[in-house]
Amino acid sequence: MKKKVNYTDDRGEMPEKLFVVSEDILPSPAEFARALEREKVTINLSAGSLNKFRRVAKKHRMPYQALIREVLDRVATRIE
């Protein structure tokens, strides 16, 4: 049986530094607007390419479609 914890010393006070704001993690309004401007397309990829995207996406714990979209967006900005 586990040892029971006694919480009698709690005075109901909140610590001063309970939450620390580190950096702004939200996207800028321009990035957010860009994310909303999407069109659906159909694309045929080789099985090998698709498997690579799936492997990399799984490693980074993200959907493979989002990874493909990010790669295509980055390439597109370089050729403008």
Both structure tokens of 71 = 């790669």
Looking at residue 16, what is its pLDDT? 63
- For residue range 6-43, what is the model confidence (pLDDT) as tens digits? 666 656 665 666 566 666 666 677 776 666 678 889 99
Looking at residue 11, what is its pLDDT? 64
How many percent of the chain have pLDDT more than 70?
62
CA distances from 13 to 5, 20, 23, 75 (A): 19, 17, 27, 53
| Domain locations along the chain | 47-80
Question: pTM to 2 decimals?
Answer: 0.54
How many percent of the chain have pLDDT more than 90?
29
Whether the CB-CB separation of 42 and 35 falls below 8 Å is answered with no
How far, in Å, CA of 28 to CA of 17, rounded?
Answer: 27
Q: What is the average pLDDT value for the chain, to the nearest integer?
A: 79
